[in-house]
A and B are shown apart, each in its own frame.
Chain A
């Protein structure tokens, strides 16, 4: 059994990678791609001054959108994957990871601009900046140092990215002016790959604009590299605690997954999920046992008294319930059961009454008669959402139980048991039911991931801030980070549930073995 389980566990890794890669590619290929959520978060509207193409370049650099999709996926994977390579991230005071500063986009290399000299200059400037950095003794001053350097490096990088975009635009304009046919991308810039094919003519009247722009960009590159080097030196002085556990220093470490930052909500994805998940779990932990407690006995009874009035009525009622759309039922429940104009039996929305924070915990008799207390208040708020979640589930499970039981009723061993004189009660409970468990286990496995993903409709109607609403908002705003984090989570849980099902099969049925 153990080798089997460990083999299955190892197979989960490629499966998860495949799943996330699929989702990642789907998001990247969808119209708008990754930039959609970022630009939605930026709130639209472009700055009033300056060339919008330069602003766009800065924006794309900020979210590293210019890299190929697979490189971006690789970066995401290293953040999420628990085994990390390279320098360890550090954890700031809020628990967020800080990574070593990102590489700068390369400067366009053209010999005429004295780039060879400029590479020397860049290295020199970096060495000077890194050498000039003296880490503060420890603790707070060192962190303050790091923050100041981060601010400077960000500003320098932004200036450089802007200058680089300016240079690309200048080159594209130069190409047009000198009537050279090169590919210009949809932003009206010259892609780096086209540079080699460009004939550079210092005598052309369009040239001075290019060389001026190149000089500015070169200077900006030197400055940005120096600022980055200083920041890197500061990072290496470990102003913050290192994340995870190191295995081989500087090469291999193990750390918890970093789920990233949601751009549309401007918050870490991890804490968004931590807020939503308990709520969804709470509702489902109440709802699912309820489905099982109602439908399994009904299914058993219906099978035992096949064709009786009970069988027909329970089947009919459950199928009727199953066919009511949740949207409609939810709206009716709010309109008639919750509205004071009609019955007003239940609260309209949310999980707690306004005054619940000042309530006692358990129900009790107080000065004003019965007081329901915090716990009962929560239960009272849960009634409508839970009812809406469960009523459709009865039909499937009870029919499944009934069918499995009927199969077994016709089996030989039942006849033998009957012939032996075993009581009917024992036949149903000890023999037939135990043997009908397998399909129920399969059902449970498929239900388990659904418990975590939450119900979009119910959560919206009853204003429950659970996983369903989080995911729905993420999808409509193309928030890739939330979608991916959710994929990883649901993926892990589904795979674990499948494994659990296989183990349970072996426990429930001695004939199954994985030796």
Chain B
């Protein structure tokens, strides 16, 4: 009995293990300190360098104040730009120098420094341009990378960012772009035409890199990218379309000297290889293939730091952090606990906060506005033969489709389902976009008119059973398809089914896995399906969804709506290079679509954002938000409210 393993022995073993454990943990801790020490050393070095430059400048007697230097003012008064790079005979479109839309340094209370914390609702997997697979990747990318052009936050016109001028072929077959000579990447390398060519030809179009999503779009329209001289590049297009210009100017430009040192396989596998010319840059950088281990990986906060070399100006905020909190309530609590600067509330959360806390807006901005990125939700009606059965649905009759819209009280839907937040949608174009005609209003909720239309189409309650029948005695019934997994979509389904049952229409609901939605849309195997589109720019090519040629199986006109009038307008619009004329065409198209009602447009979803008043210069733009303009005021101050 003496050599048995007793409690004392057990305690000794546990103690030993604990000592070994702490030893091991402290070794981990040592390791954690290394990168910090190294980055501190690096910062000291770069500060030293900058000090040396400043001292050298001082010694030369260069004026220190930016207003005294006047490089930008003199540029404006220059008699003429150098246009030797341009094709002769085609007008050059010079762009204003990029700058803040609203200069933060002119706002009272301006300060430099501080940290901005945003919350993601899901885990981003990859922060590599063109390879990321979720919206979060896009949100980070927007702060780090720049394209040749972008939409102006105030006017929504396409303006130059990296490009300071361009020439567009009057026939729309090419665009020649001149890159701003001041533009440089965050490591100080200038942005050149070769970087642009490399981004398109050796990154996006490289079969070894998993950028299929962008590649399929670019390969379809791009007909070569030519370097003309160091800062001039020319895109050729296979067809003359307005969307080519957006494609050529909108995609982020990558630094070749950085990405080319990695093999395609390394880029495919990377999680945080992100570098660009924008206002912020990744804190964790892998400068070369040997440092791949130091890149950002999922599970950690994404941290961006101010790009000290940003060629446009200087973002006031020092760091931007992105956390992941998946639960709705936890997200709001974290925001309340001051662990986040901005949060995207749900509609009920937004209203409840404003209602229950009288002083909420004293310490928070509660922003609600429709901008170019606001999406819309709709029900698509099957206008052609349904999928494999090939049977025509009742919705092949335009009167029925119109009646369906008239019978659905969308205002009430928005009130009941989204807590009153949202606008009734009227068509495919965002109401804030110039492509949408402000004089057009959505079809009203008018059940008598709807019943009248159904009667005209032959759907009458013939045997007094409360249900509609046609002259062959067939009942009016349809299947309503929606995606599983969301409380909102369940409630929409119930509301839609109830509304139509009241009118004597039989509705069966059919919940479908989101992963199967694509297949279902492609095979047209549905009567009515609900979806939401989101937008990234004020206009997109309507050909994919509304042209009768896109009705072929597999393409995106899944409601199989065909209208010769719409086809003509679409063809005309997408070949009109002048934006103002094109908008008039889109206005007309919007009317034709409203007349044809292939979709019942339900709701335009405004952006909802809660932002702490610890930040200044917070403004709602037509393009969204511009966090690079914000500055940190400090928790005690109450800054002037944004407009």
Contact = CB atoms under 8 A, between A and B. Distances in A.
Contact of B265 (A55, A94, A158, A463): A94
B297 A275 contact: yes
Nearest to A339: B333
Interface string B234-277: 00001100000000000000000000000111101101000000
Contact of B327 (A49, A93, A463, A465): A463
Contact of B325 (A37, A187, A349, A354): A349
Interface in A11-65: 31-32, 35-37, 39-53, 55-56
A463 B515 contact: no
Of listed B238, B297, B330, residue having the most chain A CB within 10 A: B330
Interface stretch (A117-125, A147-155, A208-216, A307-315): A147-155
A249 to B, nearest CB: 25
Given A51-B552, A96-B269, A465-B324, A267 B125 contact: yes
Contacts of B336: 339-341
B485 A348 contact: no
Given A334-B327, A335-B329, A52 B555 contact: yes
B519 interface: yes
B516 A31 contact: yes
B385 to A, nearest CB: 14
Nearest to B266: A94
Given A94-B265, A188-B553, A476-B515, A265 B299 contact: no
Nearest to A340: B337
A46 B515 contact: no
Nearest to A331: B329
A335 B208 CA distance: 48
B515 A36 contact: yes
A334 B555 CA distance: 46
A264 interface: yes
Given A52-B554, A349-B325, A463-B330, A275 B131 contact: no
A461 B541 contact: no
Contacts of A462: 327, 330
Nearest to A48: B220
A347 B36 CA distance: 25
A499 interface: no
Contacts of B238: 49
Contact of B519 (A39, A94, A375, A461): A39
Contacts, number: 193
Interface stretch (B25-33, B447-455, B494-502, B587-595): B25-33
A350 interface: yes
B337 A344 contact: yes
Nearest to A98: B265
Of listed B289, B543, B554, B556, residue having the most chain A CB within 10 A: B554
B509 interface: no
B263 A46 contact: no
Given A266-B133, A275-B297, A147 B324 contact: no
Interface residues of B, number: 72
B515 A477 contact: yes
Contacts of A340: 336-338
B208 A46 contact: no
A338 interface: yes
Given A265-B133, A335-B333, A465-B298, A375 B554 contact: no
B69 to A, nearest CB: 37
A228 interface: no
Of listed B269, B334, B515, residue having the most chain A CB within 10 A: B515
B447 to A, nearest CB: 35
Nearest to B22: A362
Interface in B176-215: 206-208, 210, 212-213
B208 A93 contact: no
B230 to A, nearest CB: 26
B269 A147 contact: no
B333 A338 contact: yes
A7 interface: no
A151 B516 CA distance: 31
Nearest to A186: B388
A361 B25 contact: yes
A43 B132 CA distance: 11
Contacts of B553: 52-53, 187-188
A357 interface: yes
A201 interface: no
A363 B268 CA distance: 41
Nearest to A358: B36
A478 interface: yes
Given A147-B264, A334-B330, A348-B339, 7 more contacts: A31-B516, A36-B513, A47-B216, A49-B221, A265-B126, A340-B338, A465-B298
Q: Which 10 residue pairs across A and B have the least CB separation, nearest first?
A: A52-B554, A361-B29, A32-B516, A478-B515, A154-B207, A36-B515, A348-B334, A349-B325, A39-B518, A265-B125
Interface of A: 31-32, 35-37, 39-53, 55-56, 92-94, 96, 143, 147, 150-151, 154-155, 158, 186-188, 264-268, 271, 275-276, 279, 330-331, 334-335, 338-341, 344, 347-350, 354, 357-358, 360-362, 374-375, 460-463, 465, 469, 476-478
20 contacts: A39-B519, A42-B518, A45-B544, A47-B216, A48-B544, A49-B239, A52-B552, A147-B264, A151-B208, A264-B133, A265-B133, A275-B297, A338-B330, A340-B336, A348-B334, A350-B323, A361-B32, A362-B26, A477-B514, A477-B515
